[in-house]
Amino acid sequence: MLPEKILAEVHRPARYLGGEYNTVVKDPSQVRIHFALCYPDVYEVGMSHLGSQILYHVINSRPEAACERVYYPHLDAVKLMRQHRLPLSGLETGRPLADFDIIGITLQYELTYTTVLAMLEIGGVSIRSAQRSPSEPLVLGGGACTGNPEPLADFFDAFLIGEGEEAVGEILDTYDRWQQDHPNRGTRSPSDREELLHELAAIDGIYVPSLYEPEESSEGLLIPRPAAPEAKSTIKRRIVEDFANAPIPTAPVVPWTDVIHNRGQVEIARGCTRGCRFCQAGIFYRPVRERSVETIREAATQIIANTGFDEISLAALNCPDHSQINEIIDGLHKDLSSQRVSIGLPSLRIDNFSIELAQKVQRVRKTGLTLAPEAGSQRLRDVINKGVTDEDLRSATEAAFEAGWETIKLYFMIGLPTETDEDILDIAELLEQVVQIGRAKLGRRRRHLQINVSLATLIPKPHTPFQWLQMSDPAELSRKQDLLRQRLKDRREIKLSYPNSYLALVESLLSRGDRSLGSIIERVYAEGGVLEAWHERFSYARWEQAFAAVGKDLATEAQRKWNLKQQLPWDHIDLGVSREFLQREYVRAQQELTTPDCRLAGCQSCGLAELLPCPAIMAGLQSRSQETKSEQPAS
């Protein structure tokens, strides 16, 4: 929340106004814990994040706590804030970041790491946890990137590994108890702060990096070792077992200005067991858990009544996999279409069933259609365990064009293991077929045909079967991008886009990095690196120089070879999926063998069933046997 003198000077001041509809503003004298929920990117991105909406709701439903949102301001605003010596502050009451009790920062994307440091600094909080005084706020991290928290270990007092709905309450309870023993912020001693960290470390899923000492492995990586009695040997990911009844934010804050996802969102399911070998979310959010049709309809109705959004989007890693997806869409349509509320679906799997769903949801407002074949050849799709066939894509696109779509978006990935130029050219071949189908089906409207192709780069992520892969060489990636671009250049229906290969290289380094990256991230920030998730703000040279400054070569580090037996900087983070399963999957990938979805073909022993009664196995098989979906297991 910025003062008016700044609002009058900045571009699009609505982002800094605060006071949005459904904002929760509590009387500061009536709460004991002030929690700053930070998203290390701009308002437009942060306001779109469903996980933050959930935590905002959960924290604010506790009477002793007040949660405020904090986003990184655009650069014009940061400049003015520095000029006027105004610190970064919460949108609800304008409380400066340094005056909060707890700062919780969402980590969703590695290229936001420099922005994390920027937020702390312009918020007046010491960047390194070791230098933070006992009167400063506790800095907590959470989100999907905590699968490997090591690159940020120097900056955070603690991380929460896994799902936050339940754990955040335990954190607040622990903090509240500790705070009652040490009520005066100004007189807290270093040992008081240590006491808090020890108590937090006792909470399941909490990792306090300062309780671990890094030890260099034979491969030259820093592996954290417990260095205090309070340090657990492994930190187990938090999983909300009763997801079906977990809190849903039914009165989310309505943004003042257009944001990326400017709509209501209902999470219909969490987790995905399709088992794509590159996918970190597929591991991080296991097992699959669903909400009932009634819960979802009720939540959606409330969200619309409470916000007035004209769209409700279903959120899940793969919406069509919900065992009652038809009932959900029909029900929502019945409840909401008279209010001209449309239903949105995120990217879909490639099958006719998904196209039917997509067709159904666009009865109120026409939406885009996105499909993700990921690879051009069957062989390579088997390697990554993407259980779709060329035929699936052909018939799905046929159905899509028949249903009236003229533009479709297709996601592919390059830099996949065992990939050859032939696989790249197969993407062109597949696209060629899609164009032919489109022309035939669209007839007179064929000139409207457009295929938007997004060519992502595989980034081997921790805790996936591909975590041991060598990252592709950026020059080689660029060559492959060019190869495809050349092949498609005469196809005016196809629009090809791909990211900067060097950005992908830095992302891969950050995602599999160890603690030594902390000082490098700090240096990149010091040299002006911030908001690097925005590609125009990214500078490869800055990262190269930061590596060079500590005597390392970025390219060499990035091209490091990994082996199945080596110790990994994230070995102490236990997501519940066993290393044996990941190794088995790694080997099966090299052998081009697929592994079926456990909901369709029974337990594949990923390790999770040893931890909790795996709902996918119990509920999934039951409902699938009653379904008449055409889909076959991938094997």
We find the least distance from the C-beta atom of residue 44 to another protein, in angstroms, to be 13
Instruction: Work out the burial of residue 274: count CB atoms within 10 Å of its CB; fewer than 13 is exposed, 13-18 middle, 19 or more buried.
Output: buried
Cis bond before residue 569 (omega within 30° of 0): no
Q: Which is nearer to another protein, 366 or 448 (CB)?
A: 366
We find the least distance from the C-beta atom of residue 398 to another protein, in angstroms, to be 22
Q: Is 260 in the site for another protein (CB under 8 A)?
A: no
Q: Is 7 in the site for another protein (CB under 8 A)?
A: yes
What's the rounded Cα separation, in Å, for the pair 618 and 631? 20
Q: Is 257 in the site for another protein (CB under 8 A)?
A: yes
Query: Which amino acid, 79?
Result: K
Retrieve residue 66's tokens. Answer: 């007040």
Angle between helices 352-361 and 325-336 (to 10 degrees): 10
Q: Which is nearer to another protein, 2 or 504 (CB)?
A: 2
Q: Which is nearer to another protein, 258 or 482 (CB)?
A: 258
We find the least distance from the C-beta atom of residue 341 to another protein, in angstroms, to be 8
- Residue range at the interface with another protein (CB under 8 A); choices 5-13, 200-208, 525-533, 540-548: 5-13
Residue with tokens 């990636």: 477
Count of residues that interact with another protein, criterion CB under 8 A:
28
Applying CB under 8 A, among 82, 84, 177, 366 the residue interacting with another protein is 366
Q: Is 256 in the site for another protein (CB under 8 A)?
A: yes
We find the least distance from the C-beta atom of residue 254 to another protein, in angstroms, to be 6
Q: Is 13 in the site for another protein (CB under 8 A)?
A: yes
What's the rounded Cα separation, in Å, for the pair 438 and 443? 8
Q: Are 253 and 53 in contact (CB under 8 A)?
A: yes
> Interaction with another protein in 294-353: which residues (CB under 8 A)?
304-310, 339-341
Applying CB under 8 A, among 182, 360, 365, 394 the residue interacting with another protein is 365
Query: Which amino acid, 452?
Result: N
Residue with tokens 């939540």: 299
Retrieve residue 583's tokens. Answer: 């190794």
Q: Which is nearer to another protein, 335 or 592 (CB)?
A: 335
Q: Is 534 in the site for another protein (CB under 8 A)?
A: no
Q: Is 258 in the site for another protein (CB under 8 A)?
A: yes
The residue ranges of DSSP E strands in 20-162, in sequence order, are 33-39, 65-71, 102-106, 138-142, 158-160
- Provide the CB-side half-sphere exposure for 409 (13 A, CA): 12
CA dihedral 169, 172, 174, 178 (to 10 degrees): -170
Cis bond before residue 287 (omega within 30° of 0): yes
What's the rounded Cα separation, in Å, for the pair 123 and 446? 54
Q: Is 360 in the site for another protein (CB under 8 A)?
A: no
Applying CB under 8 A, among 254, 281, 526, 601 the residue interacting with another protein is 254
- Residue range at the interface with another protein (CB under 8 A); choices 176-184, 238-246, 254-262, 546-554: 254-262
Applying CB under 8 A, among 14, 227, 541, 549 the residue interacting with another protein is 14
Residue ranges binding another protein (CB under 8 A) = 4, 7-8, 12-14, 17-21, 254, 256-258, 304-310, 339-341, 364-366
